[in-house]
Structure 1
């Protein structure tokens, strides 16, 4: 069956232990991914969250309210088949990491970026062995190849499920360093979100909040929080 059934037809979602992980059944029938694979996840924590998402559906199934199910589907249907390509794409963010591109003015913004972003680059240099150099302006300047290789090793060491969650951490923040800091528990996802929006926050302080932009930002904030939860749930049991 497809896990995107138009209407709710089941009474109960139940977690089932399977070989190599856990799956979820709807009235005894296993949930399948859009590609018709068994939706099997590595931890009980993930399986329970998926079961809760399905039990929370009322009349019609709304994928927008099922972030754990969606990311698990992505891990199985997409990441598993193109792991190296996805890992390479995310590792490439290191060569144009948000934290490395600094404003040239005004002085207050330059100072804020230095105060808040430099510690993260120092952490990457010390703990990950990857020193990235900040540059002034927006013109791309290649980073040290050895540093990038070390960051790439970190990304390629992830599991397919971890990489599925890691994808949104990197893509939404625009920073490989921030994503690795979250997954390493150096900072919280909320801190990473604030650091990734330093420039936007500065603009809001100067010119006020744009309602439409604020709504879009809130959606991204929810998505990045969900991504961090998914990643950590791949490693933890309830």
Structure 2
């Protein structure tokens, strides 16, 4: 029983690709497509997720399977929707909204610790440093951050350069963090999964530090953030390593 999940090597367009067999049958995605990934490490990791299932299949316990299927079924067939879903977070990026230090010195210090270097670094990719707003009031720009034209164009140029695997991972991290910059940092390996989790949860962890952890809410959010960021990071490491080997 424990050996019924396995990874198998294929050749697609002359390149090595990997699939998974369940009880001798090739795994398919929810849309009915063949489950084929470019990384042996990713295939074995997904096979391990299947091996851990019991009588009832629990998709929530298979984050890598979910991400891979998203890339195959959705991103590959509607890349534009994925691109726009990522870019829509930039005009209101969480990391650009800063508390006034006079109002909350502790939170301001934590934001600076997790976000300042990320914004400065992002200028290398985007062509300019993203704008910031200090305090609660946002004026002008239709309720959006006053990023420069270079930032918006640089972000779109970067996102459009990605393959379906990196694009899917970027979307996962961006949505979880409500921040394009955090997703960018993880995708370019400027942020480790651990650092990305910290950057994504600055304000939440600050509030927990004050009011305590609400069981069934805050602990669930922590766990979900960990799962999403680490899964996205793993997908990136597997597929980017594969891409380097065949460029």
- TM-score range (shorter-chain normalised) is 0.7 to 0.9
Work out whether residues 42 and 234 of structure 1, in 8 Å CA contact, stay in contact via their aligned partners in 2: yes
Work out whether residues 25 and 31 of structure 1, in 8 Å CA contact, stay in contact via their aligned partners in 2: yes
Work out whether residues 197 and 225 of structure 2, in 8 Å CA contact, stay in contact via their aligned partners in 1: no
Work out whether residues 28 and 35 of structure 2, in 8 Å CA contact, stay in contact via their aligned partners in 1: yes
Inter-partner Cα distance in structure 2 for 1:182 and 1:138: 29
* Alignment: residue pair count: 231
Work out whether residues 14 and 26 of structure 1, in 8 Å CA contact, stay in contact via their aligned partners in 2: no
Q: What is the RMSD computed on CA atoms of the aligned residues?
A: 2.3
**SS at structure 1 position matched to 2:4:** coil
Inter-partner Cα distance in structure 2 for 1:71 and 1:77: 10
Over 3 Å counting, the alpha-carbon distance change for 1:100 and 1:24 in structure 2 is same
Question: Residue 133 of structure 1 corresponds to which residue in structure 2?
Answer: 131
The 5 A counterparts of 1:1-238 are 11-19=4-12, 20=15, 21-104=17-100, 105-136=103-134, 137=136, 139=138, 140=143, 141-211=145-215, 212-236=217-241
Runs of 4+ in 1 over 4 A off after TM superposition: none
What per-residue deviation string (whole Å, max 9, x for no partner) do you get for residues 138-196 of structure 1?
63333212211101111111111221222110001111111111121112111111122
Which is bigger in relative contact order (C-alpha 8 A, separation at least 6)?
Answer: 1
Q: Scaled by the length of structure 2, what TM-score is found?
A: 0.84
What per-residue deviation string (whole Å, max 9, x for no partner) do you get for residues 117-145 of structure 1?
21111111135423111112263333212
Work out whether residues 111 and 202 of structure 2, in 8 Å CA contact, stay in contact via their aligned partners in 1: yes
Work out whether residues 109 and 202 of structure 1, in 8 Å CA contact, stay in contact via their aligned partners in 2: yes
Work out whether residues 97 and 132 of structure 2, in 8 Å CA contact, stay in contact via their aligned partners in 1: yes
Inter-partner Cα distance in structure 1 for 2:45 and 2:104: 46
- Structure 1 unaligned regions, length at least 5: 1-7
Work out whether residues 166 and 187 of structure 2, in 8 Å CA contact, stay in contact via their aligned partners in 1: no
- Structure 2 unaligned regions, length at least 5: 243-247
